[in-house]
Structure 1
Amino acid sequence: MKPFELNYTADAKGLLREALQAWGISKRTLASVKYGGGQILVNNNEVTVRHPLEIGDAVTVVFPLEELGKGLQAESGELTIIYEDEALLIVDKPPLQNTIPSREHPVGSLANVVAGHFENHKIPATLHIVTRLDRDTSGLVCIAKNRHIHHMLSVQQQEKKMSRRYDAIVHGLTEQEEFTITAPIGRKNSSIIEREVRMGGQFAETEVKLLKAYTDFSHLELKLNTGRTHQIRVHLAHIGQPLVGDDLYGGTREMISRQALHCRRLEMIHPVSGRALSFESPNREDMAALIR
């Protein structure tokens, strides 16, 4: 198995440690490289972070091989790959599949199938899921192939350089064409699963755009500005328009057998090349049938 590596060219004189920091390599990452079996090379020679750089020096960071977590079983299964390279894997998750295993669903999760994909293609990585979806929710999921790439993408999320847009079908008629829901979310005292809008909860913000109003439901586009657990579901229930099919938060399953929520678009900056990336996933048939 070939380890993951990143390559840079020094554009200024100075200590290697300072250049690595400027390139986004954290102290924690450097420690994992130093003590986990990785290497730092300058012009193909192994050095320490105290090495003085000259302009034009070629720097390579070789990351330690990662092992699949012992609690995760690699499985074969259908995997819809939208994009893949040495750093990223973007997949289209079907509805009614866990992103990660749970006590109720210990096998068959997206993580299990991706682990099988890594094993079959000899990719030395464990699972670094950057954008997780609920079991019922379908659509795009971003997975990093290295913990440093995961860190870089998490920073993108914090800096709002990664954007996710969802299609949602909600009960009731939405009157405003565009608005923002800003309401703090916390765990409901009476449940270990449910969340609610509550004082003292975490800041949460969802942008809402009406795409089309039907007789007794509405088709919305949603953009997450934060990533709280059940954020979309809680915010929509909070304004009195729960997701169709979301019986946990006030919706009914008369029209669809799962919550009508789909991650349709994912936009980000490639953590290695710096290129702008944009991915699209069409609605699944059960949601598409409602809004034809």
Structure 2
Amino acid sequence: MTELRATIEQETGRIDKVLTGLFPDYSRSQIQLWLKEGVVAVNGQPVKANYKVKAKDALFVAIPEPETLDVIAEDIPLTIVYEDEDVAVINKPQGMVVHPSAGHSHGTLVNALMYHVKDLSSINGVIRPGIVHRIDKDTSGLLMVAKNDQAHESLAKQLKDKTSLRKYVALVHGEISHDKGTINAPIGRSKVNRKMQAVREDGKSAVTHFTVLERFEGFTLVELKLETGRTHQIRVHMQYIGFPLAGDPVYGPKKTLPGNGQFLHAQMLGFTHPVTDQEMVFEAPLPEVFEKTLEKLRKSH
């Protein structure tokens, strides 16, 4: 165990900011994690991140030993769209879980990343190394991955500040009559089914913009731009306005198009590079099953 000690002389403000200034070798996200874990004490008492430091406060941090990484690197095929020393962009296939969890200890994107990319940020712990954001198992498309903590903090801030670009393509049930729309409806955990999300007045703010790309008999192809990134946001919002995703086993109708889950693809991803400040934009083609389904709909239409 590593120990950090300091006595406050003139510094003021929240303890997480003060500790970041006192110990620049550690990121603010890492310090906030210590505060959550209760390993930061002031005058012998554990404190939270919002504690305001005072003169003569004695700070003590007992940094726990790093957890042994029990997630196994696996040689799983992985499409790496871009990679440098700081970031990687992955085109995740439909059917792949992003990170290990109960019932999914192997075959995840993280298992594959640990084999192919290796250097990954530690901010989200041993189960989610490098993972800045996620997409559902049966959603395909682009994900950004952080290879160090500095890059992770920058990419996470861009997501929080809504400056990153995330565009999806989805096939939905029904024929949407208007060409564009915005769904602004808060999302929270469903009171009926704890495994589902739902539009709730007391939920977290959620905003989705959509544009109609193509109409078919009984279906519409839409492009969706996310302002926020709530769990199942697109699936919940499209169900909410009466146009659930085709193939969605949870939020859509049971009788739908044949496939392997919802027809939802994270097609475009953009962000500012955390080190070079270069604007990066990536695009991934629709999966083969998605394209073939559209061809069939065009022919029947």
Provide the residue aligned with 2:25 in structure 1.
33
AA paired with 1:191?
Answer: N
Aligned positions of 1:160-171 closer than 5 A: 160-171=162-173
**8 A contact 1:29–1:148 mirrored in 2:** no
Question: In structure 1, the residue corresponding to 2:153 is in which secondary structure?
Answer: helix
1:261 matches 2:260: no
AA paired with 1:33?
Answer: D
Provide the residue aligned with 2:102 in structure 1.
103
Cα deviation code 1:190-243 (max 9, x no counterpart): 323100001100000000000001001000000000000000000000011110
Question: In structure 1, the residue corresponding to 2:210 is in which secondary structure?
Answer: strand
Shift in Å at residue 189 of structure 1?
A: 1.7
Q: Could you tell me which of 164, 176, 179 is aligned with 2:178? A: 176
Cα pair distance change 1:174/1:74, threshold 3 Å? same
- The 2-side partners of 1:216 and 1:115 are apart by 43
With structure 1 as the length reference, what TM-score do the two structures score?
0.75
- The 2-side partners of 1:141 and 1:68 are apart by 25
Which of 154-163 and 221-230 deviates more?
Answer: 154-163
**8 A contact 1:68–1:125 mirrored in 2:** no
Cα deviation code 1:151-181 (max 9, x no counterpart): 1111111222101000100000011101100
Provide the residue aligned with 1:279 in structure 2.
282
- The 2-side partners of 1:26 and 1:83 are apart by 36
The alignment of Structure 1 onto Structure 2 pairs a total of residues equal to 236
AA paired with 1:117?
Answer: H
- The 2-side partners of 1:233 and 1:258 are apart by 12
With structure 2 as the length reference, what TM-score do the two structures score?
0.73
Cα deviation code 1:111-165 (max 9, x no counterpart): 110011234xxx3654121221100000001000112211111111122210100
Provide the residue aligned with 2:224 in structure 1.
222
For structure 2, the residue ranges without an aligned partner over 5 or more in a row are: 1-16, 28-65, 123-128, 296-301
**8 A contact 1:167–1:264 mirrored in 2:** yes
Aligned positions of 1:197-212 closer than 5 A: 197-212=199-214
Question: In structure 2, the residue corresponding to 1:128 is in which secondary structure?
Answer: coil
Shift in Å at residue 256 of structure 1?
A: 2.1
Shift in Å at residue 79 of structure 1?
A: 1.0
Cα deviation code 1:11-45 (max 9, x no counterpart): xxxxxxxxxxxxxx99549736169xxxxxxxxxx
**8 A contact 1:92–1:139 mirrored in 2:** yes
Provide the residue aligned with 2:113 in structure 1.
114
AA paired with 1:209?
Answer: T
- The 2-side partners of 1:213 and 1:34 are apart by 52
Cα pair distance change 1:211/1:87, threshold 3 Å? same
- The 1-side partners of 2:22 and 2:209 are apart by 38
The alignment yields a C-alpha RMSD, in angstroms, of 2.4
- The 2-side partners of 1:29 and 1:131 are apart by 27
Q: Could you tell me which of 243, 256, 262 is aligned with 2:245? A: 243
**8 A contact 1:242–1:250 mirrored in 2:** yes
Cα pair distance change 1:69/1:231, threshold 3 Å? farther
Question: In structure 2, the residue corresponding to 1:90 is in which secondary structure?
Answer: strand
Which of 133-142 and 67-76 deviates more?
Answer: 67-76
Question: In structure 2, the residue corresponding to 1:237 is in which secondary structure?
Answer: helix
Cα pair distance change 1:30/1:256, threshold 3 Å? farther
Shift in Å at residue 69 of structure 1?
A: 5.8
For structure 1, the residue ranges without an aligned partner over 5 or more in a row are: 1-24, 36-66
Which of 250-259 and 273-282 deviates more?
Answer: 250-259
- The 2-side partners of 1:168 and 1:203 are apart by 22
